[in-house]
Structure 1
Amino acid sequence: MRVNSNTKVRTRAAAGLTVAALAAGATAGAGPATAQPKAAPAAAAAADCSAAYRIEQKLSSGTTWRMCWRYDGKAGLVLENISYQPKGEPKPIKVLNSARLGQIHVPYDDGSVEYDDLTGFDFAQGLMNLAPGECPGGTIKTVKVPDSWNEDPNVKGLCTTTRSRGHAYRMQGDTANKVFQAQGKDLLVYTVNQVGWYEYMTEWRFQDDGAITMNVGATGSLSWDDYDAGDGRGWPIGKGASAKATSHSHNAFWRLDFALDGSTKNKVEQYDSTVSAPTRGQRAPTTKTTRTKVTKEMAGDSKAYRWWRMVSATGKNKDGHARSYEIVPGVTTKYPGRSYTKRDLYVTQYNKCELFASHNPGNCGPGAGKSVDKWVNGQTLTHPVVWMNIGFHHIARDEDQQPMPVHWQGFSIAPRDVTAMNPLTPAELNWQNGHWRPRR
């Protein structure tokens, strides 16, 4: 929570969160940091940027991730030219042209204020210096903040490190005398941006199995000047019920520009399944799944038995199946108060002007509108861009002080048929592809 609108204060002290705060709010699947990551050797297909702006990491399981980074004056960290190369693949597989935050929209329950933190509250200016202990085993890169308010625009604010996430798989061998198991490894890239009393941790996890998880974690402090929710909407903080923290929502948007196998001509598909009661002679209900090809811009909602995928127009795996990435929404509380927050997912035709999901500062043409919902106007998708909206309704609690534990919101994209088998398959099992019989 931040101070009230009449006394907003921004702190630009070069202070970082503690490593304990970093670890405390890790999302499901996160684990302790590992040792210093070893830089991957240069490759012909390395990300197209100078060494200072290149992230290239070979994980201990054999997977290499490559990308470029830059820092935008409003969006903060932007990752570009992202490719994935698991062991056994002769060259990197491009996944995304760019990945970035699209907005953090914060409306207060009492209707007094709402904020668009990226375009209206100087999110990017609030980049924080990180202490070495906040990037265990990794590297802290120096970021030059555009149009910085400080005398020195250079901030030690970008951490790249590796982490274990627990079991990647476990399988009892068919001879019952061997267990196949592996611990999954992630490349973690993150920054911390202070906005008012909040400190937002923007993290990107690149897994050795090809999945990418993107999270925003809110931490920092509750605003002690804002314990004024006298309308009954707030939650009492501290002794008695005289101080009530104002409840509010965090609606985080991400913008993903896919380029599977290097082509932006990706195809979008939606899958819906229906479950029917057993008919005569059946022992269980039946489930039927239907594919819908999405050819025009769309606004969609997550629901049970529904999912989407982005399909490569040019690339296939070694089994001859089209490569794709499935969109895996995270837990969300959808905010119905604004038109652009009423839907979970938007797919729009690429427009270099359409960068922020609400209060977009660019002039995108007559009648284009300033929010993502206005850009869904029936255009044919030849270069689709995905916008994901994940909401969190923050009703404060005593445990939110002091400091406030990290509360996370985010989603993932998961490879579907990018490789012919699990990219982490052990050598003893790599012959078991498709219809196979036990060896005798």
Structure 2
Amino acid sequence: MSYRKAAAAVAVVLSVPSLVAGLSPAAAQAAPPVSCLSSAIVKETLPNGTTWEMCWHMDGRAGLVLDKVYFSAKRSPTPTQVLASIRLGQLNVPYDSGETEFNDLTDYGFGDGNLQTLTGDDCKGGSVRTGSDGGPEGTRRAVLCVSAEPAGLAYRLNDGDPDTPKVYSKQGYDLVLRSISKVGWYEYVSEYRFGDSGEITARLGATGDLSPGDYVKADDGWPIGKGAKDYAAMHYHNAFWRVDFNIGGAGNEKVEQYDTKVNGRGTMGAKLTTTKTAIAKEGTFTTANRRWWRLVSSTSKNADGHLRSYQLVTGANDVYEAHPETTPDVTFTQANPCEKFATGNADPQCPAAKTILDFAKNKETMTDPIMWVRVGFHHVPRDEDQSPMPLHWQGFDLLPRDFTAINPAAPDGRENVDGQPTF
């Protein structure tokens, strides 16, 4: 998968005062640039000087929702907004037998009674936050884990000085927010990772247990246990995320698609040409070799005068072509408050809009685009899935592109390298 993983996926206690488990969020944090309740604020500074600040809450269906996400860093100290919101938009689970299918968010929900109270090693090395579980009673429980985790080598450079060479080498860190929801026998980890240089990773982990009621005939399953007697059902996890950007607080982002294709040959190798296609109207899109998309601000610029943007980076992905709405990799739609879920959308204010295909079919011109990202995982059970099932992950990255003029975590001695260096 191309989406980032923390080193060994292990939370580590860091020497960051506001990340010490048990510290009161209100005591550790000031309000972000756009306020929310003090109990719903996450504001943390990573060891390399990057600060992420945001609001959070639990929705009865979607589970963990992050709002008003801001980024600042040592080389970019002014907090700048990245996202208006990010959350899950659906989890569609059809079984290979064709006899069983669930929409876990709209049929059951990741909040309310399915949202798990964190305990044991659920948040080891992190800080557990208390908030409403999103249910009608608004029950307050320990439901959010906030931690800092090592993300591996952030950068490494030998400056090549022939007389006194200097090596710049630094480990990176992620701010990690996660919650756990139990639907049936599965337990799902909703996780968002925020990196030193502005990267954002959204991913969904699945653990828990294989359903004892979903053992099938040999053609639709995999032999689990002794011999070839019990066959655990093969099935899909079609996860959707709903991403609403608000770059620089300006909104009005534009969607662009880039394609790079072979265009003849040069003196030593193939020539590649990259073209940009503006996507002005709603639509559905699929990945291709050397194809990518970005959301670019219309007005917000970095210190070099370049428009700020974020690029979608997709990872491992199994397409579930049996449903038209689970086939596109990404769908862009105009923001509409009643278009809440990618499938199973049941808002009475828009009864005709059931899926992202309905949202996009009008080809409305986008002035406030919403990005719906679908990532599929075909789960073919294995003996190792018992028990409990090891976590398996699916997700994607959001990569800053020209959001800052230089690496926001650049070390002293490299902060003036901006453009073609002179030697």
TM-score by length of 2: 0.92
**Deviation by residue 1:39-87 (Cα, 9 ceiling, x = unmatched):** 3975675341121000000111111001001111111111000010111
* Structure 1: distance between partners of 2:260 and 2:57: 40
Aligned position for 2:12: 34
**Deviation by residue 1:159-204 (Cα, 9 ceiling, x = unmatched):** 0010011100111121263221111111000000000000000000
* Structure 1: distance between partners of 2:261 and 2:382: 40
**Deviation by residue 1:285-334 (Cα, 9 ceiling, x = unmatched):** 00000001111112100111100000012211111110100011121001
**1:101-180 alignment, distance < 5 Å:** 101-124=88-111, 125-147=113-135, 153-175=139-161, 177-180=165-168
* Structure 2: distance between partners of 1:188 and 1:147: 24
* Structure 1: distance between partners of 2:374 and 2:353: 18
CA contact (8 A) 1:268 1:294 kept: yes
CA contact (8 A) 2:199 2:397 kept: yes
CA contact (8 A) 2:32 2:54 kept: no
**1:257-276 alignment, distance < 5 Å:** 257-276=244-263
Aligned position for 1:82: 69
**Deviation by residue 1:210-236 (Cα, 9 ceiling, x = unmatched):** 000010000000122322x11512100
CA contact (8 A) 1:47 1:54 kept: no
More displaced stretch, 428-437 vs 49-58: 428-437
Aligned residue identity for 1:33: A
**Deviation by residue 1:5-25 (Cα, 9 ceiling, x = unmatched):** xxxxxxxxxxxxxxxxxxxxx
* Structure 1: distance between partners of 2:147 and 2:124: 7
More displaced stretch, 41-50 vs 417-426: 41-50
More displaced stretch, 205-214 vs 122-131: 122-131
What is the aligned counterpart of 2:181 among 193, 196, 213?
193
Aligned residue identity for 1:96: L
**Deviation by residue 1:235-276 (Cα, 9 ceiling, x = unmatched):** 000011110001000000000011001022111110001113
Aligned position for 1:409: 394
Aligned position for 1:338: 323
* Structure 2: distance between partners of 1:43 and 1:51: 8
CA contact (8 A) 1:127 1:155 kept: no
Aligned position for 2:378: 393
* Structure 1: distance between partners of 2:370 and 2:4: 26
Aligned position for 1:54: 41
- Classify the secondary structure of the residue corresponding to 1:373: helix
- Give 1:361 deviation, angstroms: 1.7
| Alignment CA distance shift 1:43-1:315 (3 Å) | farther
Aligned residue identity for 2:146: T
Which ranges in structure 2 are unaligned for 5 or more consecutive residues? 20-27
- Classify the secondary structure of the residue corresponding to 1:133: coil
Identity %: 42
Structure with bigger strand share is: 2
Aligned position for 1:204: 192
**Deviation by residue 1:124-166 (Cα, 9 ceiling, x = unmatched):** 23111212532122211123223369xx933312100100111
| Alignment CA distance shift 1:27-1:404 (3 Å) | farther
Tell me if 1:216 matches 2:204: yes
Which ranges in structure 1 are unaligned for 5 or more consecutive residues? 1-25
- Classify the secondary structure of the residue corresponding to 2:207: strand
Aligned position for 1:372: 356
What is the aligned counterpart of 1:310 among 295, 310, 325?
295
CA contact (8 A) 1:354 1:364 kept: no
* Structure 2: distance between partners of 1:211 and 1:74: 26
Aligned position for 2:24: none
More displaced stretch, 125-134 vs 286-295: 125-134
**Superposition RMSD on alpha carbons, in Å?**
1.9
